[in-house]
Structure 1
Amino acid sequence: MWQYVPAIILITVCLAFTPALATYAAYDPPCLCYYPSSARAVQVSSASELTAALAEAKPGDNIVIAGGTYPGNFLLANSGTPDEPIVVRAAEGEQVVFTGLFTLAGKYGVLEGCEFHNGRVVVKGDYNRVTRNYFHDFTSTAIYIQEGGSYNRIDHNEIANMNHDPDVLCQGIRVRVNEPADLRTKGNRIDHNYLHDFPDRGGNGHEAIAVANNTHYWPETYIEYNLIENAYADGETISIKSSGNYLIGNTFISSNYVQNRHGRNTLWKNNWFENVDLRIYGAGQQIIGNKLVNGRILLQAGTTTQDDFDARYMAGGGGGQPNQPRTENALVAGNDAGNGITVGHYENLPYPVINNILEGNYRGSVDQPAAVMLARQENTTIRQSTDVPFGTAVKLTKDEVGRFARDPYCKIRAYAEVVIGGSRFAISENRGDITLTLPFGTVQAPLIEVVPPEKMEWSEPLRPDVVVGVVPAAEVPDTAVIEVRDSSGQLVQSTKVNFSMAAPVVELLLAGRKSVSTSNVFLGEVPLEVAVAGDSAAAGALIRSVELVLRRLDIGVGKEPQDQLLYRGESLPQDLVIDTYTLDDGLYRLVGRVESIHGLAAEGMALFAIENWLELNDYLEPPTRGWFGIFDNTKTIARSAGWTYATDDPEAFCGDGNRLQRSDAKATAPEYLIWSAPQLHSFQVTLYAREVEIEKVIELAASQDQSRWEPLSYEKELVATSSAGWHQLVLKGQAGEVYDYFRLTLLGDEDGDGSESAAPVLLQLGQVDLKWRNKAGK
């Protein structure tokens, strides 16, 4: 069963460990963006010329491939040097298409600027670089590092439209780590790639990125600043099946879950997850400073332990089954945890997660603790704050990754650089269109500033003789154009800048504040404000529709939730109030949906509880005996002496095994019970009687001070009649919220015939329920 725990609570249970943070010492590959001036230019324009050039390649060679399609397989087995790599690249502005396999088997080789249409690259050597290539419609793994390939860099590639057979291994990028000991990869960097649109065609082994498969080997792969979206080809978008890796600054959008499948001490830091869950298995993983938008962190229960899985892996056979080691000794710190953190996900698995630390996790702002759900777990520590430096996750855009993006480690060659709204872009020879999504409410497109050549930061001037001009956009949405012309005025390059507007960011404020937890309690009339980010006047004019829907959450198993429409209109509501007295007490979710005139919609959500009423439920249980004596379980503040408990024969009383009756069946004096109920609103009494007509033998009354009692009228309901002849009756009514005490009295003439009764007891009390208005919310 799930247990929900607000993260502000400290839970410490028998912990005797503190995970050591991994030291991030990123491998810094040599800068291979510049081609040495002494390089020997080798021009090729056919497959046979390329094959020959590769076979004869020497350090410093710059093999320039003319546009065209190059079928077949190609191999660069020769090696360059750190200062003079062997560069194989497409000619500037030309489309070079490979349809087969290109293998880098030497050292210090660079493959740049080519297109692979159902083609692929295998890297077997060290210190190679695969950069600014375009892979699409591939049926086997696009980029495959294997056979000991180490310290390679895979960067700024676009990998799209996986077209796999369900039964064939086909991944975007794979680092193979299950080679023999002398052929294991190490220290590879995968950064600034754009992987997108991997459709679900069934099968397994179709991840966007995989580092697999050796649980006890530490390949120390650096997966950094990649953008992955719409990856549904495999249940796992990323699969880590090894130890000691680093996943930092990546962005995952609308894809299947990202998973640390097994292994030890992998660092997940400052990644952005949007509509994506992060699943963690194995030991000693560190999940720090990530942001999850509509996603969860799931610490998985397992089918085995990491120690057991390691031992079986060392014994041979790849570990075999079971192969889902539970999460243990993990550190989860400083995450903006979106839809919360589940500790012990998959409750049906035999091994609970154990000895994990959660600290300083939040939702939206650091003063709003993240929701934590404790499921199949042992020895979990939860702290509100953390001393771990967790940084900030930043959502990457398509302009920051892929073939045309700036390289943070070295410069590219470009006609110019422009600054748009504070962001810098390089206008290279094969630069694609730029798309900028501006905040909702932005009506004026930002200026496009052309940077003088001497102030270019990301790139070297490609041609000093060109002039760069801008045709500005008039409004949002609209398109500007950056034009590059030579000295004669001839158009050399044209780049569109498409300005679009983001969906509105919706905030729901209850009584002037955000409420993202059902621990926030509201009473009475609650002002509700719907706000959108940006200039309010401009934003209001851009809204097409607004809808507010309320749903009760705690309705019980098997019941269908019912949505209640609170508002629907063409503008933001004004002076809207939720009258919580018209709603039952419980847990609620309020969703506000706002759609813009451009057809973009977004939702805001508020979680809260309603507790308008306090209840006293007296089940009239008999006293219990404990270490400190006898404990009275009834909730009365006063009672007469002539009462006794009846616990016999529950079936005769509709299953009720705790009842109260007269001590002496022949007694004629009234017997009373009194409860405290401040400003009593309503009452309900359950009793059992031989006769249905009990009005002459029972009195219900209320008082402000217990000195003067006012009789209360009530409605009587016959609920059931047992086979033993006892009628279950319910008496219920309202008290007007002016009284503070409730009294139940059995009158002397219990059989109601006007005379003293010597018959057996004819009436027994089963339960008393009182309700009054709550005066203070949280």
Structure 2
Amino acid sequence: MKTALFLSFGVVAAGLVAGPAHAATIDVSTAAQLKSALTSAKAGDTIKLADGTYTGNFKTTVSGSSSSPITLTGSAKAILTAGGGYGLHLNGASYWQVKGITVTGGQKGIMIDSATRVVIDGVTVHGLDMEGVHFRKSSTYGTIRNSKIYDTGNDGRGMGEGVYVGSAGGTSDKSDNVQILDNTIGPDVGGEAIDLKEGTTGGRVAGNSFDGRGLTGANYDDSWIDVKGNNYVIENNTGKNTTNNGFETHTQQSGWGCGTVFRNNRSDLTGATGSGRYAFNITNYNASSCKVTIDRSNTVTGGNGLANPGIPIG
């Protein structure tokens, strides 16, 4: 009995030390190799991109696990270049970490669909017809951090958001608890730097820097952040250059656009012309049914004030 117990413990211990038996580092230097690696990767694997240009549309549908995510990594000189469509599409592919690479040239940069716990870290996304990074189809607990997004919305339709969370036109897309942290978004982003759609809940937007030079004004793209979801925390962000306001909330669907807390954000509205330019334009405030909190720690330079009339500051 003692021998059996010892052998059993030894097997478990060896597994803990070694990790997944199949985990591997996959070195990639061509587009064909990258497509193959994205298709065949298993939990714990690392796909390592050499510097160079990878032309095409790159997609995966395989998932890692909570203890063994799949990692796609390279330097900013490892460049995914699409001629249209999505540069990188994580379609139902949960537990991925995408680090360091550049994505450019497509309709959209990085698309996350129906996936959980995807981390986008230190990437560069630019030169796109539409939005830069999109969490969609109830992609939950995603994170984008330490990244640069600029030069989006080049088709001129006002659909060039830097980071887009959820979907317009209903509340079925529950892309909840997405974190947008310490990114630089802009200039020349054709839509809002960040658009948080109705149906999404509980995300955090913190430590980002926004440059709104290049806002088109199409489809009401006239602020750095537009919050249409519920119960977001938006804090410690800095913005400059806007055509209208800094931060906005809207009710596109009944009961949505509520519960957001804004604190310690710094808005420079210098250059925003005309009347009614505010750091915070809250269009749907109701103290009992749709409260929005604007903390006194927020500051504004230029414009017509911290918030539109009737909105409490506390």
What TM-score do you get using the length of structure 1 for normalisation?
0.32
The verdict on how the C-alpha distance between 1:180 and 1:239 changes in structure 2, with shifts beyond 3 A counting, is closer
Match of 1:112?
99
In structure 1, how many angstroms separate the alpha carbons of the residues matched to 2:116 and 2:71?
15
> Percent of aligned positions with the same letter in both sequences?
21
Deviations 1:341-378 (A, max 9, x none): 5415xxxxxxxxxxx5445xxxxxxxxxxxxxxxxxxx
RMSD: 2.3
Paired residues of 1:199 and 1:231 also in contact (CA < 8 A) = yes
The verdict on how the C-alpha distance between 1:259 and 1:108 changes in structure 2, with shifts beyond 3 A counting, is same
Paired residues of 1:160 and 1:198 also in contact (CA < 8 A) = yes
- 1:235 matched to 2:244? The reply is no
Paired residues of 2:210 and 2:238 also in contact (CA < 8 A) = yes
Match of 2:150?
160
The verdict on how the C-alpha distance between 1:179 and 1:154 changes in structure 2, with shifts beyond 3 A counting, is farther
The verdict on how the C-alpha distance between 1:286 and 1:181 changes in structure 2, with shifts beyond 3 A counting, is closer
Match of 2:258?
264
In the TM superposition, what is the alpha-carbon distance from 1:188 to its structure 2 partner? 0.6
Within 5 Å, give how 1:116-131 maps onto structure 2: 116-119=103-106, 120-124=109-113, 125-131=115-121
- 1:275 matched to 2:269? The reply is yes
Deviates more, 1:36-45 or 1:120-129: 36-45
Q: What secondary structure is seen at the aligned counterpart in 2 of 1:122?
A: strand
AA at the equivalent of 1:209:
I
Deviations 1:705-739 (A, max 9, x none): xxxxxxxxxxxxxxxxxxxxxxxxxxxxxxxxxxx
AA at the equivalent of 1:75:
K
In the TM superposition, what is the alpha-carbon distance from 1:85 to its structure 2 partner? 0.8
In the TM superposition, what is the alpha-carbon distance from 1:292 to its structure 2 partner? 1.2
- Work out which structure has the larger RCO, using CA pairs closer than 8 Å and 6 or more positions apart in sequence: 2
Which ranges of structure 2 fall in alignment gaps of 5 or more residues?
A: 1-18, 216-220, 252-256, 271-278, 285-289
In the TM superposition, what is the alpha-carbon distance from 1:177 to its structure 2 partner? 4.2
Within 5 Å, give how 1:338-417 maps onto structure 2: 341-343=307-309, 357-359=312-314
- 1:103 matched to 2:92? The reply is no
Larger radius of gyration: 1
- 1:77 matched to 2:64? The reply is no
In the TM superposition, what is the alpha-carbon distance from 1:67 to its structure 2 partner? 1.6
Deviations 1:671-719 (A, max 9, x none): xxxxxxxxxxxxxxxxxxxxxxxxxxxxxxxxxxxxxxxxxxxxxxxxx
Within 5 Å, give how 1:279-678 maps onto structure 2: 279-282=281-284, 283-288=290-295, 289-297=297-305, 337=306, 341-343=307-309, 357-359=312-314
Q: What secondary structure is seen at the aligned counterpart in 1 of 2:33?
A: helix
Paired residues of 2:151 and 2:186 also in contact (CA < 8 A) = yes
Deviations 1:3-47 (A, max 9, x none): xxxxxxxxxxxxxxxxxxxxxxxxxxxxxxxxx898411011111
Paired residues of 1:278 and 1:296 also in contact (CA < 8 A) = no
In the TM superposition, what is the alpha-carbon distance from 1:221 to its structure 2 partner? 1.9
Match of 2:6?
none
Deviates more, 1:186-195 or 1:259-268: 259-268
In the TM superposition, what is the alpha-carbon distance from 1:163 to its structure 2 partner? 5.0
Match of 1:147?
137
In the TM superposition, what is the alpha-carbon distance from 1:271 to its structure 2 partner? 0.7
Q: What secondary structure is seen at the aligned counterpart in 2 of 1:292?
A: strand
Deviations 1:274-327 (A, max 9, x none): 226321111311001211122444xxxxxxxxxxxxxxxxxxxxxxxxxxxxxx
In structure 1, how many angstroms separate the alpha carbons of the residues matched to 2:133 and 2:72?
16
In the TM superposition, what is the alpha-carbon distance from 1:254 to its structure 2 partner? 2.5
- 1:51 matched to 2:35? The reply is yes
AA at the equivalent of 1:156:
N
Within 5 Å, give how 1:747-758 maps onto structure 2: none
In the TM superposition, what is the alpha-carbon distance from 1:55 to its structure 2 partner? 0.9
In structure 2, how many angstroms separate the alpha carbons of the residues matched to 1:230 and 1:241?
19
AA at the equivalent of 2:283:
Y
In structure 2, how many angstroms separate the alpha carbons of the residues matched to 1:161 and 1:178?
22
Within 5 Å, give how 1:178-217 maps onto structure 2: 178=168, 183-198=173-188, 206-212=191-197, 214=198, 217=199
In structure 1, how many angstroms separate the alpha carbons of the residues matched to 2:125 and 2:193?
12
In structure 1, how many angstroms separate the alpha carbons of the residues matched to 2:112 and 2:266?
29
Paired residues of 1:208 and 1:231 also in contact (CA < 8 A) = no
Paired residues of 2:173 and 2:200 also in contact (CA < 8 A) = no
Match of 2:125?
135
Q: What secondary structure is seen at the aligned counterpart in 2 of 1:116?
A: strand
Match of 1:67?
51
- 1:170 matched to 2:160? The reply is yes
The verdict on how the C-alpha distance between 1:182 and 1:109 changes in structure 2, with shifts beyond 3 A counting, is same
AA at the equivalent of 2:44:
G
The verdict on how the C-alpha distance between 1:358 and 1:141 changes in structure 2, with shifts beyond 3 A counting, is closer
Q: What secondary structure is seen at the aligned counterpart in 1 of 2:34?
A: helix
Paired residues of 2:126 and 2:151 also in contact (CA < 8 A) = yes
Paired residues of 1:95 and 1:115 also in contact (CA < 8 A) = yes
The verdict on how the C-alpha distance between 1:37 and 1:290 changes in structure 2, with shifts beyond 3 A counting, is farther
In structure 1, how many angstroms separate the alpha carbons of the residues matched to 2:171 and 2:209?
32
In the TM superposition, what is the alpha-carbon distance from 1:186 to its structure 2 partner? 0.8
Q: Quick one: which of 29, 54, 72 aligns to 1:88?
A: 72
In structure 1, how many angstroms separate the alpha carbons of the residues matched to 2:64 and 2:157?
38
The verdict on how the C-alpha distance between 1:123 and 1:199 changes in structure 2, with shifts beyond 3 A counting, is closer
The verdict on how the C-alpha distance between 1:342 and 1:183 changes in structure 2, with shifts beyond 3 A counting, is closer
Which ranges of structure 1 fall in alignment gaps of 5 or more residues?
A: 1-35, 201-205, 298-336, 345-355, 360-778
In structure 2, how many angstroms separate the alpha carbons of the residues matched to 1:179 and 1:167?
17
What TM-score do you get using the length of structure 2 for normalisation?
0.76
The verdict on how the C-alpha distance between 1:342 and 1:152 changes in structure 2, with shifts beyond 3 A counting, is closer
In the TM superposition, what is the alpha-carbon distance from 1:199 to its structure 2 partner? 6.4
Q: What secondary structure is seen at the aligned counterpart in 2 of 1:149?
A: coil
Q: What secondary structure is seen at the aligned counterpart in 1 of 2:309?
A: strand
Paired residues of 2:81 and 2:105 also in contact (CA < 8 A) = yes
Deviations 1:627-682 (A, max 9, x none): xxxxxxxxxxxxxxxxxxxxxxxxxxxxxxxxxxxxxxxxxxxxxxxxxxxxxxxx
Structure with higher strand content: 1
In structure 1, how many angstroms separate the alpha carbons of the residues matched to 2:98 and 2:145?
11
AA at the equivalent of 1:285:
V
Match of 2:202?
220
